[in-house]
Amino acid sequence: MSSENQPGGSSGASDPDYAANLRRATLASSVGSALEYYDFALYGLASALIFSKVFFSNLTPAVALVASFATFGVAFAARPLGGLFFGTIGDKLGRKWVLLTTIAIMGGASTLVGVLPTYEQAGLWAPALLVLLRLLQGFGAGAEQAGATVLMAEYAPVRRRGFFAALPFIGIQAGTLLAAGVFVDLGTLPTEVLLAGVWRIPFLASILLIGVAVFIRMRLRESPTFITLEKQDQVAESPLREVFRGSFPSVLRGIGLRMAENGGSYIFSTLAVSFVVTTVGVGTWIGPLAVAVGSLVGMVTVPFAGHLSDRFGRVPVYRFGAAVLLVLAFPGWWLLSLGNPVIVIIVIAVAIGLGVNTMLGAQCALLPEMFGNQHRYLGVATSREFSAILAGGIAPVLGAFLIGASGGAWWPLAIYVFILAAITFATTFVTPETRGRDLTLLNDALFDSAVQVETRPEHMVSHKEFLARVGS
């Protein structure tokens, strides 16, 4: 099937009905991304600044912080289970209803955090209920982002797939920005007022985003490429078996690509915030403000990186983002240790806004293009969520341990970031270029024939020219 005739091709892009569905899919994915990252950024910031005092007040401050971050990481244990469960359903029954279910589970759990009793009110039941809701949140989130990624890649016009697939991920920045902005405001309140119950308000507000997201997704049509699968009677009977039997090499590459993007995101949005506040001693509001600035930068970086990946290819753009974190690792953490508020904001903003979000912008189309049509949802979900455990899930806990074990030194954290960035940088050299790939193909990009590669839309600018420009 040529690029002009595949779903989302040039002919489809000029169809008014297709254009309306593309806008609806973009909005549906954006609101879901905003809710997921509002929830996760909110929980991450609360773990760094609130939960150790509210749910673990019986522990010493250092141990309470580790325990608080441990509840943050618990969700990442549930995310792969959610990814496998809902990813399988998404490949067998379609994307729409899975996305409706995941948004309800994820948002509902976040809202209920706002009504939990504290340790002083309920003892051990308080942290136990917190862990339970965090597990539910992770279970729903395990397929939410994968579904949004797949849905947009399958809806997007092929020659601009990178740009359109990245658009909903402005919602990630909006959600993170909203959560960080809330905590900037909360950080100006007296501690006793904040801990008395004001911290609950942002969690309770999640219900508003849930309502909007469910309303929009009810009106969403099914993905064009999944409709093609159904028409051709090619829907997989066992996507899980296919992924682990035939797509394991693609999954490993997806995990490698996510180490710096996912790990870097959580390290700089949670661990760095805790480090500069509790270890270095800057104001409580500085860390959240830095995350907010990084998210503002990301609102431009993500779609721009997607656009660049349409022009120059997914892999070189992704490699550039990994290189940013690789170069920033040691000087960045040293600068954070100085405790200068302006420098703190700049370092975190550059790490998140430029390094992490350049990778994310290219990833939005790259991961779906790496997998065949019969198991794309599950393949993307598996890559995303197993990497989330290895990178994002353990990052705050391991980082908090390293801070305590080293007496507050910055260099173990720099080594940590450097290793994650090096893994992703190396993975880009064994990842196939996927730009313009036909998403109705059943095989993974690793196994594309020479003819299938040659019939893709030509790059507007060669990789060599792009790398030459980056080098200059």
Neighbours of 222 (CB within 10 A): 16
Q: Going along 316-463, which residue ranges are E strands?
A: none
CATH architecture for residues 10-225+240-471: Up-down Bundle (1.20)
Rg of the chain over CA atoms, in angstroms? 21
- Cα 312 from Cα 437, distance rounded (Å): 14
Write the Ramachandran bin of 448: left for phi over 0, alpha for psi from -120 to 50, otherwise beta: beta
Instruction: Dig out the tokens for 15 from the structure.
Output: 């169809």
- Cα 371 from Cα 229, distance rounded (Å): 14
What is the reported pLDDT for 470? 45
- Centroid of chain to Cα 345: 21
What is the reported pLDDT for 15? 62
Predicted model pTM: 0.80
The stretches of 156-268 forming alpha helices (DSSP H) are 161-166, 170-186, 191-193, 200-204, 206-218, 224-231, 239-246, 248-266
What is the reported pLDDT for 251? 95
- Cα 102 from Cα 460, distance rounded (Å): 38
3-state secondary structure 405-430: HCCCCCHHHHHHHHHHHHHHHHHCCC
Picking from 411, 390, 260, the residue whose alpha carbon sits closest to that of residue 326 is 260
Structural element, H or E, at residue 102? helix 96-113
Residue bearing tokens 């060669």: 462
What is the reported pLDDT for 11? 43
- Cα 57 from Cα 289, distance rounded (Å): 26
Domain spans of the chain? 10-225+240-471
What is the reported pLDDT for 13? 47
* Amino acid making up residue 422: A
* Amino acid making up residue 402: L
What is the reported pLDDT for 459? 58
Backbone angles phi, psi at 6, to 5 degrees: -70, 160
Cβ distance 256 to 419 under 8 Å? no
Instruction: Dig out the tokens for 48 from the structure.
Output: 């760094």
Picking from 363, 6, 304, the residue whose alpha carbon sits closest to that of residue 155 is 6
C-alpha dist (Å) from residue 201 to 58, 174, 241, 365: 24, 18, 43, 36
What is the reported pLDDT for 383? 93
- Count of residues for the chain? 472
- Cα 364 from Cα 316, distance rounded (Å): 14
Q: How many CA atoms lie within 13 A of 462 on its CB side?
A: 3
* Amino acid making up residue 4: E
Which residues have CB under 8 Å from 271's CB, separation 6+? 48, 395, 396, 399, 400, 413
* Amino acid making up residue 326: L
Which residues have CB under 8 Å from 444's CB, separation 6+? 246, 247, 249, 250, 370, 371, 372, 379
* Amino acid making up residue 298: G
Picking from 262, 274, 267, the residue whose alpha carbon sits closest to that of residue 45 is 274
- Cα 254 from Cα 431, distance rounded (Å): 9
Q: What is the full per-residue pLDDT of the chain (472 aa) written as tens digits?
A: 444 445 545 444 456 677 777 887 888 778 777 777 777 777 777 777 788 888 888 777 778 777 887 777 787 788 888 888 988 888 888 888 888 888 888 888 888 988 999 888 888 898 888 889 888 888 888 788 788 888 889 888 888 999 999 988 887 778 777 877 777 777 677 777 777 888 888 888 888 877 887 887 887 788 888 888 888 877 877 888 888 888 999 999 999 999 999 999 888 988 888 888 888 888 878 888 888 898 889 889 999 999 999 999 999 999 999 999 999 999 999 999 998 999 999 999 999 999 999 999 999 999 999 999 888 999 999 998 888 888 877 777 788 788 888 888 899 999 999 999 999 999 999 999 999 999 989 899 999 888 888 878 765 545 455 445 444 4
What is the reported pLDDT for 458? 66
Encode burial over 87-119: b for 16+ CB neighbours within 10 A, e otherwise.
bbbbbbebbbebbbbbbebbbbbbbbbbebebb
Which residues have CB under 8 Å from 218's CB, separation 6+? 100
Cβ distance 255 to 383 under 8 Å? yes
- Cα 313 from Cα 72, distance rounded (Å): 35
Cβ distance 67 to 56 under 8 Å? yes
* Amino acid making up residue 297: V
Burial class (CB in 10 A: 0-12, 13-18, 19+), 456: middle
